[in-house]
Structure 1
Amino acid sequence: WHQGIIRDPASDRYCRWQYTIKPIYGWANTGTPQQSTAGWLSYLPIFEPGWQILMAHGLASGSIDWNGKIYTFTDAPAYSEKNWGRAFPKKWFWLNCNSFNNEPDLALTAGGGRRGVLWWEESAALIGIHYRGKFYEFVPWNSKVSWQIQPWGCWQMQAVNSEYEVELTGTTDLPGTPLRAPTQEGLIFVCRDTMQGQLNLELRSRVGSKSQSILKANSSLCGLEIGGSSWFQPWQESTKMPWVTIT
């Protein structure tokens, strides 16, 4: 059960909420202990920022009062994550969807960024898919993860490991909503997102040089986001740990 209120004393605008959440997926296979989103090293204070997906998919029921306009909902898709540290990455992107056409038991979270690690920086990205009780995790320590992100309008990601491969394409014609995000200079408008993006997803199993489709899905309710600085040109990169080999 969650309830609370926030109010702006300068304008007297407010938001009041009360709702319950039924968790469905965390960040692991159903019935197994939760995994660290950034791996076991995230237990140590070496990444800036820290990131943990708490609930990849859940169902929320209740109401939100936004300045007198009341929104009620039953079994609405819900998502929860936690960020900590001094600031968000210098540059990042994010895709999230747990409301797919004809696929009620499917949730996707993907993203990447230029983050701090002790005294240096690195590019990191991941794709996580929960589907029918199974967690498909594509991270640099078990996969090659690639991305091609436009300054706005198109998000493309691919990942491959010894067992599976996945392709994502998110698009939007909407202008998006500017958001404040934590930086070294404080909360400033360095983020833009929409929760009405178009998404196409395909997950395949790999056997040798052949692949077989496990899932094709699409949605028009995908969260798409970019943030940070230097979004003057497309960002294309890939990442994997040295011990990861793809045949």
Structure 2
Amino acid sequence: MYTLKRIFNPEIFQGKYKRNNYFEGWYYKIIDKSSENILAVIPGVAVSRHSEHSFIQFIDAKTGFTRYLTFPKQAFTYSEKELSVEIEGNHFNKQQMSLNLKDNDFSISGDIEFNDIVSFPKTLLNPGIMGPYSFVPFMECHHGIINIHSGLRGELLFNGQSIDFTGGYGYVEKDWGKSFPHSWIWLQSNNFCHRDTSLMFSIASIPWFRHEFDGLIAFLRINGSFLRFATYTGAKIKELTVNDSILRVSIEDSEHILKLEASYGKGGILKAPKKGIMEVEITESITSTVKVELAEKSGRLIFRDVGENTGLELAGNYRKFATD
């Protein structure tokens, strides 16, 4: 029952039966109303043949300050029925994040509530962003979207300073499996002039038996409508270039053309998994900017906006995805 439930509920803990070469982590991103404070908190667990632990990663987007805190694996508890994870008094679920962290020169505590949550739409054949690949058990890395966009309520005491996040924006996603891909590009923003807009784009090298392919997953939510662009929907990348910290992407499917232009902002160092060991260092920016344009194949413009406080990762040999 648990095996079936977790497939159709990617937000819950997936690793109940995993004993080695496994990781799982949830990515909570919060932005205050003034966009002056942008934080990401990542609780998770990592298990290899030689070591195991739970962890909480933290990044302050404005300064690039990061911290990776480790705990015994036994400190990690979870629910099999819903998203509910706890690590030594730090609790994470779909509606709330409660923090109480201290480490030398770093401390953060308080409660953040997520309200007016827009969940990722599910269907029987597409239980998550990975679509039919959700049913493939041997994928190196699975990706899940939990909270496309939400409002926030609450305060955090960060290094002695009180920060009010009420009226801000929230976003939650997750990853689990053996390792992150050896190369990928990831982009996410839900801080647009049009408040109900949310965007995520990713392309990654996906091992497939003895070969690999470049897997695309992306979505755009505008005006209450949800558009999915992915390898499994037949969407294709027609253009991808990275020059002078500018990422340009053009994606087409049978009906639409989606164009993205992202400017890379200041970032911080986070740890990523390889065979269950959090040993890979990557740079993530949450201060990037993305211009978004959606048009019909006929050329009629549907939507245009600019997303601020955009998350952007360019990892590994990401230039391999370039079309020029």
TM-score band by shorter chain is 0.7 to 0.9
Counterpart pick for 1:154 among 224, 237, 246: 246
1:215 and 1:2, CA in 2 relative to 1: closer, same or farther beyond 3 A? same
Counterpart pick for 1:131 among 205, 208, 222: 222
Whether 1:61 and 2:153 are equivalent positions in the alignment is: yes
Q: What corresponds to 2:268 in structure 1? A: 177
For 2:149, the aligned partner's letter is H
Whether 1:17 and 2:110 are equivalent positions in the alignment is: yes
3-state SS of 1:7 partner:
strand
For 2:322, the aligned partner's letter is Q
1:175 and 1:115, CA in 2 relative to 1: closer, same or farther beyond 3 A? same
Whether 1:82 and 2:174 are equivalent positions in the alignment is: yes
> Within 2, Cα distance between the matches of 1:187 and 1:152?
29
> Within 1, Cα distance between the matches of 2:273 and 2:138?
18
Whether 1:230 and 2:317 are equivalent positions in the alignment is: yes
For 2:246, the aligned partner's letter is C
> Within 1, Cα distance between the matches of 2:180 and 2:300?
38
For 1:19, the aligned partner's letter is I
If each structure's helix is expressed as a fraction of its own residues, which one has the higher value?
A: 2
Q: Tell me, which stretches of 5 or more residues in structure 2 are unaligned?
A: 1-95
Counterpart pick for 1:186 among 261, 277, 284: 277
**How does the TM-score come out when normalised to structure 2?**
0.63
Whether 1:6 and 2:97 are equivalent positions in the alignment is: no
* Identity of matched residues, %: 21
Residues 146 and 236, structure 1, Cα contact 8 Å, conserved in 2: no
For 2:129, the aligned partner's letter is T
Whether 1:212 and 2:295 are equivalent positions in the alignment is: no
Residues 267 and 287, structure 2, Cα contact 8 Å, conserved in 1: no
Task: Report how far residue 217 of structure 1 moved.
Answer: 0.5
Counterpart pick for 1:40 among 132, 135, 154: 132
Task: Report how far residue 13 of structure 1 moved.
Answer: 3.0
Q: What corresponds to 2:190 in structure 1? A: 98
> Within 1, Cα distance between the matches of 2:291 and 2:107?
36
For 1:166, the aligned partner's letter is L
1:141 and 1:234, CA in 2 relative to 1: closer, same or farther beyond 3 A? closer
**How does the TM-score come out when normalised to structure 1?**
0.81
Residues 132 and 232, structure 2, Cα contact 8 Å, conserved in 1: no
Task: Report how far residue 204 of structure 1 moved.
Answer: 1.0
Residues 266 and 288, structure 2, Cα contact 8 Å, conserved in 1: no
Q: Tell me, which stretches of 5 or more residues in structure 1 are unaligned?
A: 239-247
Residues 27 and 135, structure 1, Cα contact 8 Å, conserved in 2: no
